[in-house]
Amino acid sequence: MKAGVLALQGDFREHARVFAEAGATPVEVRLPADLDAVDCLAIPGGESTTIGKLARAYDLVEPIRERSRAGMPILGTCAGMIVLAREVEGGEALFGLMDISVRRNAYGRQVESFEADLDVRGIDHRVRGVFIRAPWIERIGDGVEVLAEFEDRPVVLEQGNLLVTSFHPELVGETGLHRYLLRKA
């Protein structure tokens, strides 16, 4: 199976490494033609504004929306969650695919980063998450399921073929969420 990683900015190499560990063939997606060759896609953490500018510059916004609407599974971690959200407080939505509203950097500044072990529904082990300037969910729409919470706040959500996290599982080599996504593909 070919697992795409949006490779415009952020920790895309770490996602590729985790997909490889999970048994998939990682493909770095930079152009619409790259997207055509993959069965699923991860949108990494990084800087959501920069990811948005580059996705527009490389004409990836509509192709990603179209593939999502056609059922391709997509995982968005941290900034990936922000760009998949329908609403971004104080900002502009990019893909607008998941019926959630997010607040950027809600868990604090870089120096306030932390790690936590989480119970995620559908994964048979505790998932290690790295929260770095992490967003949180302000609103959850109909059809969005909460798969995990941290301190009474949703941090892993699923809506159909979309899966998002407030944190970075890829930074510690956590494969559970990537394997979950691959099962959806």
CB neighbour class for 184 (10 Å; exposed up to 12, middle 13-18, buried from 19): middle
Of 15, 40, 158, 168, the catalytic one is: 168
Which H or E run includes 43?
Answer: strand 40-43
Q: Which tokens belong to 127?
A: 């998932």
Of 14, 170, 174, 178, the catalytic one is: 170
Angle between helices 48-57 and 61-69 (to 10 degrees): 100
Of 78, 158, 174, 178, the catalytic one is: 78
Q: Whose structure tokens read 């120096």?
A: 111
Task: Identify whether 40 is a catalytic site residue.
Answer: no
Task: Identify whether 168 is a catalytic site residue.
Answer: yes
Distances from the Cα of 71 to the Cα of 104, 105, 135, 179, angstroms: 27, 29, 25, 17
Task: Identify whether 15 is a catalytic site residue.
Answer: no
Active-site residues, by number, are 78, 168, 170
